[in-house]
Amino acid sequence: MKFSKEERFEAMKKVRDELVLFTESPLYEYRTKNNFFPVIGEGSHDAHIVIIGEAPGKNEALTGRPFCGASGKFLDEMCAHIGLARKDVYVTNIVKDRPEDNRDPSQEEIDAYGPFLDRQLEIIRPKVIATLGRFSMVYIMEKLGLSGEIQPISALHGKVLYGKLPYGDVALVALYHPAVALYNGSMRDTLKKDFESLKQFI
């Protein structure tokens, strides 16, 4: 089912409203106790490229905006490196609430929030998905029917893979999470070079 611009907006608003009241979430109590916001995503609802991280950090949970902290600044830098305007893509995470102490998302959390991401992808219908980090890479590879090709991110980063979602063919570019470059400055060039794999799709 294809959506008009207005229908996309309303469908995404419905996703947002459901996430705000997602009391079944294993992170709902932690979110409300800390006055955090769910981080739904931001950008163009008819984006050609969707960028998917893992879970929000503290800055994101305090503002409700994805990738607005130090990792976000480096993501902006990588987008600028290939001439990609962030407003023209859609940026989100699999898990929409911040896990405690900035830990990795659990499988339970990925299973709980994954269906919301699936709906977002069905609304936007991107031709290209860039995953940031191993959790989003594995999740999307499984959705694309690429389970048999899953390897460590160290083997797949920067490569373009092709699979299918219910609405059609999708290219996947697996990337390290920008936070990697914050902890290891020598990885900055690797991430920027890998990001160049997206240039052919702009």
Model confidence over 127-155: pLDDT tens digits? Answer: 999 999 999 999 999 999 999 999 999 99
Q: Which of 111, 132, 156 is nearest to 67 (CA)?
A: 132
Q: What is the CATH number of the domain that holds 76?
A: 3.40.470.10
Q: Helices in 93-178 by DSSP H: which ranges? A: 107-124, 134-143, 153-156
- Vertex 45: Cα angle to 96 and 194 (nearest 5): 70
Instruction: Kindly state the average pLDDT of the residues 163-180.
Output: 95
Q: What is the per-residue DSSP string for 87-100? A: GGSEEEESS-SPPG
pLDDT at 165 over 90: yes
State the pLDDT at residue 70: 87
> How many Å apart are CA 67 and CA 200, to the nearest integer?
23
What's the pLDDT band for 183 if we cut at 50, 70, 90? confident
Does residue 77 surpass a pLDDT of 80? Answer: yes
The domain in which residue 170 lies consists of 5-201
Averaged pLDDT for residues 124-128:
97
Predicted confidence band of residue 1 (pLDDT cuts 50, 70, 90) = low
Looking at residue 188, the DSSP 8-state letter turns out to be: H
User: pLDDT at residue 36 above 80?
Assistant: yes
Task: Output the pLDDT for position 2.
Answer: 74
What total of structural domains would you count in the chain?
1
Query: d(Cα 59, Cα 64) in Å, to the nearest integer?
Result: 8
How confident is the model over 41-59, as pLDDT tens digits?
A: 999 999 999 999 999 999 9
CA distance 143 to 71: 26
What does the mean pLDDT of the chain come to? Answer: 94
- Tokens 């219910």, residue located: 166
